[in-house]
Amino acid sequence: MNWETYFAEFSYLLASILFILGLKGLSHPETAKRGMHLAEFGMTMAIIGTLLHFEIVSYTWIIVGLLVGGLLGLAMGVWVPMTAMPQRTALSHAFGAFAAALVGIAEYYSYTHGFKPIADLGHVKMSAMGFEIMLGALTTTGSLIAFGKLQGIVPGQPLVYRGQNIFNMTLLLATVVLFIYLIFVPTAVIPFYVMLGLAFLFGVLLVMPIGSADMPVVMSLLNSYAGLASAATGFVLGNNVLIIAGTLDGFSGFILSILMCRAMNRSITNVLFGAFGSVSTATVEGVQGEMREVGLEDVAVQLAYANKVIFVPGYGLATAQAQHAVRELANVLEGRGVTVKYGIHPVAGRMPGHMNVLLAEANVPYSQLYELEQINPEFPSTDVSVVIGANDVVNPDARDNPSSPIAGMPILEVDHSKSVIVLKRGQGKGFSGLENPLFFKPVTGMLYGDAKDTLTKLVNAVQHA
């Protein structure tokens, strides 16, 4: 081995260690930044090591690629608003998975077209490559559809038709059969490209039937697949740092998927094949009374003279871009000596942690952001709970009605507080299409209108209360 090889291998080892330390830093907001800088340094070293190491024939395309990708990444990183974070993340899953798939295809092409000795394309290599390409391809298209749904290009409602699950399963089975065939006969070029095409198609069909409200789970799963595709690339190229980084990414996505499913009391299978939101229109009975509409002034007085106020944000906060307005209202209230806290449900928003980032952006200190288990005991001693664009995560049916489609889902128990104000665009139902009995409870007052607009008016009204 020459010195370049030693340097490259050492840089990979260093990168692996720094990546792990970087993720370890994320266990606390205070250590997170430093951790990320370590990871960034590791990445830079690994790239330099690679550029020096291999007997690279031409640097032209590499440099052009690095420049184009670097500029694209920088533009995205700097300009994407926090409200659009789910879309950006979906897109980056697509990019990562597509890169993995392309590396696999390029390798396969080189072997089958005589650029690399075909004898080297053994069963082991083909298995790793098959995994890489299958996962890579389905994650690419799946993430693009998720991106489309989050961005509003593709309809957010689940797209369902009769026999969908059977059709999808057959398609997946066909893909896997081709994959297994390829392990035994790696040189079968046509089955290879058919498998690739089927995997791309399967990704689309996998995500189409999933509703927007289930996006946190889907995002986590796609995260996991993209990571595992990267890890498979590591197996194909025999590179440990790829295996390590890909596995960390894959497991992170996997853990998040489990947490998200638990927060909805549903299984992953149910999310993927249940086509939630299409089945749940028949649960209106049992809801009695009328929704009570309250006036702005009335709410302002309630808030101004409260001791403790808890804000419960949902996806509606993101769509209305109301995070700064909430913060302003909280400032005014705190100025009057009101204790303000925020209750964050794990699946509020469209990706894990979405609400936390939005509120942090609006300068809400993270010491005021509370998780479900921490905040629930506090509701009985709360004067006013303000629900902003959240629906299913505060639906008491999940707790009280065993026949509800969301039965058993842990909720933020706002209905235990002395008064509940629900900020809502209109009288429509939530994304799951469920009726929410919370809105009909005597403690609840409905305040209709655009959340940002309403909150800004409330700031004014509280100041004059």
Partner 1 sequence: MTITTIMLSFLLAEGSGSMSPMAIIAALYVFALAAFLGYQVISRVPPLLHTPLMSATNAISGISLVGSIVIAGGTGPHHSKVAMILGFIAVVCSTTNVVGGFVITDRMLRMFKRKK
Pick 149 or 424: Cβ nearer partner 1: 149
Residues 306-335 that bind partner 1 (CB under 8 A): none
Residues 365-404 that bind partner 1 (CB under 8 A): 365-367, 369, 371
Pick 37 or 292: Cβ nearer partner 1: 37
Among the residue ranges 45-53, 153-161, 293-301, 433-441, the one whose residues contact partner 1 (CB under 8 A): 45-53
Helices (H), 336-377: 354-361, 372-375
Helix (H) or strand (E) holding 342: strand 339-344
Q: How many residues bind partner 1 (CB under 8 A)?
A: 122
Q: Which residues, 6+ apart, have CB-to-CB distance to 146 below 8 Å?
A: 90, 93, 207, 215, 218, 219, 222
Minimum CB distance to partner 1, residue 117 (Å): 9
Minimum CB distance to partner 1, residue 368 (Å): 9
Q: Report the C-alpha gap between 111 and 262 in whole angstroms.
A: 44
Q: Report the C-alpha gap between 23 and 27 in whole angstroms.
A: 8
Buried b (16+ CB within 10 A) or exposed e, 297-310: eebbebbbebebbb
- For partner 1, which residue of 6, 74, 177, 267 counts as binding (CB under 8 A)? 74
Minimum CB distance to partner 1, residue 179 (Å): 12
Among the residue ranges 146-154, 236-244, 303-311, 404-412, the one whose residues contact partner 1 (CB under 8 A): 236-244
Taking residues 87 to 126 in sequence order and writing x for each that binds partner 1 by CB under 8 A, - otherwise, the string is -xx--xx-xx-xxx-xx-xxx-xx--xxxx--xxxxxxx-
Are 373 and 440 in contact, with CB atoms under 8 Å apart? Answer: no
Pick 49 or 148: Cβ nearer partner 1: 49
Minimum CB distance to partner 1, residue 103 (Å): 5
Minimum CB distance to partner 1, residue 199 (Å): 16
For this structure, is 392 an active site residue? yes
Pick 352 or 445: Cβ nearer partner 1: 352
Q: What is the dihedral of CA 144, 146, 150, 153, to 10 degrees?
A: 50
Residues 174-233 that bind partner 1 (CB under 8 A): 219-220, 223, 226-227, 230-231, 233
Interaction between residue 456 and partner 1 (CB under 8 A): no
Q: Give CA separation, 122 vs 110, 111, 187, in Å.
A: 14, 10, 10
Q: Report the C-alpha gap between 440 and 415 in whole angstroms.
A: 11
Out of 214, 249, 298, 392, which one is annotated catalytic?
Answer: 392
Minimum CB distance to partner 1, residue 233 (Å): 5
Among the residue ranges 26-34, 171-179, 405-413, 423-431, the one whose residues contact partner 1 (CB under 8 A): 26-34
- Phi and psi angles of residue 112, each rounded to the nearest 5 degrees, phi first: -85, -10
Q: Report the C-alpha gap between 330 and 340 in whole angstroms.
A: 6
Pick 106 or 177: Cβ nearer partner 1: 106
Pick 253 or 405: Cβ nearer partner 1: 253
Are 410 and 263 in contact, with CB atoms under 8 Å apart? Answer: yes
Buried b (16+ CB within 10 A) or exposed e, 47-60: eebbeebeeeeeee
Q: Name the residues annotated as catalytic.
A: 392
